[in-house]
Structure 1
Amino acid sequence: MQCSGISPRDTSSNITIRRTKPTHLTQSQEPLTLESIKHIIHDEMNAFINKIESNISKIIENKIKGLTKEITDLKESVLFITNQYEDLKKDMQVKFKDVKHLKEENDCLKSTVKDLNSRLSIMEQHSRMSNLEIQCIPEHRAENIPHIITQIGKITGTKISDAEIHKCTRIAKINPENARPRSIIVKFACPRVRDTFLAGVINFNKRNTNEKLNTSHIGIGGNKKPIFVVEHLTPELKKIHAHARATAKKLKYKFVWIKNGRVFLRKTDNSEHIVVRNIEQLKELQ
């Protein structure tokens, strides 16, 4: 009886079976110690840290370059603006000096104009020292103005000859729509004659408080209308007089009058009179 196992060499088979050779270690490996592991980790960490530091340095360097450029540009902008500001400041200082000079010159001119206007007004009023203005006498086509003036003189106790009346005429209205008759301007021979005539009218009105000078006294029929005789004022003085009357009414001043081309105010019988020289003065009254 033969065994069923395969013999190392079977004559009946063409397959050759080789035996496996035993494995042997050809290289020797050094064992890893704790110290060597530490060195490896330390080297890796250093390399990693160096790489991070290098990257961070590059980033910071780039950022610093950008910031440096921005700061340089900002400095240039600030320097430009500063130079512009200094130039503007110098220019403004020059302009301020010019404006100050012009203001002083303007104030001087205003003062000069005011002084010239005052002198002109005085001269103009002085040229009217012999004149009177008679207001509210009704107009008639065939009226005799010299006769009207002499009639007023007779009524008020002042005799006036034709020779003492140098000129008399009606003047145009300031406001053509005003219903009042045109005023009569009378130029007498001298200021003394004018003052005498005016004083006669004032005294007549004082004596006849209930029947002051009116149209009936000079022979004009119809309703009695008051006649006013005043100094012939310049337009500027008329304006001051009108404001003075309005101020007196508002502040309860008792007296407003005109004498020798000047406007006066008095609050009570015993108070001091005030010479009104301009409208601005009236605004300061209380």
Structure 2
Amino acid sequence: MSLQRTPPGKFASDTDIPATLDIGFVNSRKRKQPDCDGAQTLDCIERLSKTISNELTKITSTLTDINNKMTKLQNDNININKSLGETNERLSEIEKSLNFLSERQDGFETRLKALEGQITRTPDLTIQLATIENKISLMEQQARQCNLEISNIKERRGENLVQIVENLGNIIKQPIRAADVVAVHRVPHADQNNKRPKNIIVKFTSRILRDNFISASRTTKGLNSTMLSITGSPAPVYVNEHLTLNNKILFRQSREAAKKHGFRDHNTSGRRDGGGVLVAVQRELRARPAQAARTRLRLQPARASSRSRPLGIKIGELLIHN
């Protein structure tokens, strides 16, 4: 298909455009170029990427630390809750123990009140105890009713105590056979510092034989160790009843009180000096060492009697007539 030209005369413009035109009046400008070329752009992008990556790394590290701390706080919270639970259990056990102790204390107080009531209801407990001790002392003394005690005889190795008793009986004119002696032995003194010879305890077959032996020894004047053919300097020999330790102390204190107040024992002639009875009364007996036994002494007048009476010993009372 062939092109057709515009018909002439239709337009005011000249259709014949010259090949050369003067275009000096036209302004021309260059096209705006970018600040950097492609390499610089890639470098900028890379640096920006590194910066972002570093910041992201820091943020990630910070978030990791925060996460770790939160985990640690959670663990600490769990441990704290566990410790609080154990503490509560211990407090509960302590509370139970305190309640138990309080109940026991209440029980103790109740029992103590009951005991106090019993003590209040038995004001004579001390008297009852003294009575029991007196009975025991009496039984001990009765167990020795066939015994006598020989004092101040020098000890010798291999000595024959039965022979000594027989010789003593011959001297006081109260013959003793070996068959009359149940037992004979020496006993140590209650006071360990006492340097005197140990006393000889003799148990006879009967109380009558014992009493006759004591009476015969008291009628013998100047009884000493020389009469028994014991070598050494003469020493007085004493023959007495075998008293218990408490009765010995009581007897000694009564004799001291009698001497202090001018009382005298019976003499062999039957003559008496003065008149009266010394009564030593033990009203309260307490648990104490025998060496520290205490007695209460009471003096009272007595009627004169024409008949002489021997020294009498009684548990709780020691009577010395003169």
| Superposition TM-score, scaled by structure 2 size | 0.50
Superimposed CA distance per residue, residues 252-281 of structure 1 (whole angstroms, 9 cap, x where no aligned partner): 222289xxxxxxxxxx63524345343544
- Indicate the residue corresponding to 1:122 in structure 2: 138
- Indicate the residue corresponding to 1:255 in structure 2: 265
Instruction: Give the distance between the partners of 2:211 and 2:182, measured in 1 at CA.
Output: 15
- Indicate the residue corresponding to 1:234 in structure 2: 244
- Indicate the residue corresponding to 2:41 in structure 1: none
Instruction: Give the distance between the partners of 1:99 and 1:142, measured in 2 at CA.
Output: 60
Counterpart selection for 1:271 from 267, 271, 275: 275
Provide closer, same or farther for how the CA distance between residues 98 and 169 of structure 1 changes in structure 2, counting only shifts above 3 A: closer
- Indicate the residue corresponding to 2:169 in structure 1: 153
Deviation at 1:175, TM superposition (A): 1.4
Deviation at 1:119, TM superposition (A): 1.1
| Secondary structure class of the residue paired with 2:247 | helix
- Indicate the residue corresponding to 1:66 in structure 2: none
Provide closer, same or farther for how the CA distance between residues 170 and 98 of structure 1 changes in structure 2, counting only shifts above 3 A: closer
- Indicate the residue corresponding to 1:102 in structure 2: 119
Deviation at 1:251, TM superposition (A): 2.1
The amino acid of 2:235's aligned partner reads: K
In 2, are the aligned partners of 1:245 and 1:256 still within 8 Å (CA)? no
Instruction: Give the distance between the partners of 1:234 and 1:140, measured in 2 at CA.
Output: 26
| Secondary structure class of the residue paired with 1:229 | strand
- Indicate the residue corresponding to 1:35 in structure 2: none
Instruction: Give the distance between the partners of 1:170 and 1:196, measured in 2 at CA.
Output: 22
Instruction: Give the distance between the partners of 1:131 and 1:221, measured in 2 at CA.
Output: 27
- Are 1:285 and 2:299 counterparts? yes
Deviation at 1:102, TM superposition (A): 2.8
Superimposed CA distance per residue, residues 195-221 of structure 1 (whole angstroms, 9 cap, x where no aligned partner): 11111101113xxxxxx1100010012
| Secondary structure class of the residue paired with 1:169 | strand
In 1, are the aligned partners of 2:151 and 2:238 still within 8 Å (CA)? yes
The amino acid of 2:162's aligned partner reads: P
- Indicate the residue corresponding to 2:217 in structure 1: 201
Greater helix share, 1 or 2? 1
Instruction: Give the distance between the partners of 2:253 and 2:266, measured in 1 at CA.
Output: 11
- Are 1:182 and 2:198 counterparts? yes
Q: What percentage of residue pairs aligned between the two structures are identical?
A: 30
The amino acid of 1:241's aligned partner reads: F
Instruction: Give the distance between the partners of 1:225 and 1:124, measured in 2 at CA.
Output: 31
Instruction: Give the distance between the partners of 1:254 and 1:184, measured in 2 at CA.
Output: 28
Instruction: Give the distance between the partners of 1:194 and 1:239, measured in 2 at CA.
Output: 22
Deviation at 1:236, TM superposition (A): 1.3
In 2, are the aligned partners of 1:248 and 1:256 still within 8 Å (CA)? no
| Secondary structure class of the residue paired with 1:285 | strand
| Superposition TM-score, scaled by structure 1 size | 0.55
Provide closer, same or farther for how the CA distance between residues 133 and 248 of structure 1 changes in structure 2, counting only shifts above 3 A: same
- Are 1:166 and 2:166 counterparts? no
Superimposed CA distance per residue, residues 90-121 of structure 1 (whole angstroms, 9 cap, x where no aligned partner): xxxxx99996863552x322111111111111
Superimposed CA distance per residue, residues 219-244 of structure 1 (whole angstroms, 9 cap, x where no aligned partner): 01221100000000011111101211
Point out the structure with max Rg over C-alpha. 2
The amino acid of 2:197's aligned partner reads: P
Provide closer, same or farther for how the CA distance between residues 103 and 146 of structure 1 changes in structure 2, counting only shifts above 3 A: same
Instruction: Give the distance between the partners of 2:245 and 2:120, measured in 1 at CA.
Output: 30
Instruction: Give the distance between the partners of 2:259 and 2:153, measured in 1 at CA.
Output: 26
- Indicate the residue corresponding to 2:49 in structure 1: none
Give unmatched runs, 5+ long, in structure 2.
Answer: 1-111, 283-293, 301-322
Provide closer, same or farther for how the CA distance between residues 254 and 100 of structure 1 changes in structure 2, counting only shifts above 3 A: farther
Instruction: Give the distance between the partners of 2:266 and 2:255, measured in 1 at CA.
Output: 6
Superimposed CA distance per residue, residues 131-162 of structure 1 (whole angstroms, 9 cap, x where no aligned partner): 00000000001111000001110000001000
Instruction: Give the distance between the partners of 2:128 and 2:273, measured in 1 at CA.
Output: 38
The amino acid of 2:217's aligned partner reads: V
The amino acid of 1:204's aligned partner reads: T
Provide closer, same or farther for how the CA distance between residues 98 and 192 of structure 1 changes in structure 2, counting only shifts above 3 A: closer
- Matched ranges for 1:16-165 at <5 A: 102-103=119-120, 105=122, 107-165=123-181
Provide closer, same or farther for how the CA distance between residues 246 and 121 of structure 1 changes in structure 2, counting only shifts above 3 A: same
- Indicate the residue corresponding to 2:256 in structure 1: 246
In 2, are the aligned partners of 1:134 and 1:230 still within 8 Å (CA)? yes
